[in-house]
Amino acid sequence: MLDKKENIGPGLIVLISLIMAFIAQIRFNGMYITIPMMIILSIYLYKTNKTKKLYMLLPALTILFILLIASLNIVYDVNEHQKDALGTKITHMLADYDLNLDITPTDKEKIHKLANETKIKENYELTFSDPIYRAYNKTEFKVNKEDYIGLAIKYSIKNPIHCLEYLFGSSVMVWDIVRGDDWSSQPYYTDIEYARGVFFSNHSKNVPVKGFEQQKAKHKGEPIFESLNSSVNFVIKNKVLDTLFDSPALYMYLSFILIGAIILIDKSKDMLLVYLPNLFNIVVIFLSVPTQDNRYLYPNLLIFYMILLILIKIICDKKLTERI
């Protein structure tokens, strides 16, 4: 993928396109990560590639958008998820503002059309938005979406300190190293009782529940299953082990330290580009739906291990060069 002069070849460009197309399909926020990265990557390659073969990005962009457009079923699901996520976020934010800020009677009336006052009081949790998702009027949001987005922006600008308090308070998983006792989710879903509760709370009004009351894990009772299950639950309940294995924020901070070390050793700032896609993901999660679920920031762990391997390779190469 690199030629003898270390110029980037078409193989690498195609690979990056495929990866980014896949990322864009995984979740609704994938596009917000992919498009800026393609633009930044284009500029970076133009500045650093000695042969200035910028035209090699054209097949990359073509492949990217063909994959995005061709995957109609996946794109449809992503679009539907995006609508739900936007509606949930705006309603959750307005519910917080309704409970904590001085809202005009007219705006209060508008907010309570989206989610009535009783439902807001019963369902609002700062770090968990699923109850609000089930409570708000999705048809009302679809019809008057711009008005509700405008309300959220209006009171965010009028109350910037509270807006920041809301964002940091509802997205503690992004920056808090140790899992709080009030976090609403968990990193692994091994507890069948928890899964049963989630199933009934999300689906009992929409699907028949008869026959599901006694559901259980397929391998429950088998020695290997019980051993693995108890081990995982032990890790979750142990603050030190849970932080070591499951803390996205810990690995975000460690990645920053390793990137700094690589820049000092290698005298190259290219590593900043490596972390940029994940940084976009972190920002999008910070600004999106509040839920303290590790899966949204799991890339933090993967990126950390990748950067660690790069650092080890740089150190080994440096030692090999010194010996020669």
In a domain, 199, yes or no: no
Domain count, the chain: 3
Cα–Cα distance for residue pair 140/230, rounded to 1 Å: 45
Residue 143 shares a structural domain with residue 103: yes
pLDDT tens per residue, range 83-107:
567 888 899 999 999 999 999 999 9
Q: Which of 51, 70, 89 is the last residue of a domain?
A: 70
pTM: 0.71
Give dist(CA 70, CA 92) in Å, integer.
34
Q: How open is the CA angle 131-132-137, to the nearest 5 degrees?
A: 125
Residues 162 and 82 both lie in one domain: yes
- Residue 44 pLDDT > 70, yes or no? yes
Cα 319 to Cα 213: distance, rounded to the nearest angstrom: 62
Amino acid at 214: Q
96 lies in which domain range?
76-170
Q: Are residues 118 and 137 in the same domain?
A: yes
What are the pLDDT digits (tens) for 148-194? 999 999 999 999 999 999 999 888 888 989 888 767 666 565 555 55
Together in a domain, 54 and 83: no
Of 170, 201, 216, which residue sits at a domain end?
Answer: 170
Query: Pick from 32, 55, 70: which residue ends a domain?
Result: 70
Residues 99 and 138 in one domain: yes
Q: Which two tokens stand for residue 289?
A: 């739906």
* 164 and 128 assigned to the same domain: yes
pLDDT at 4 over 50: no
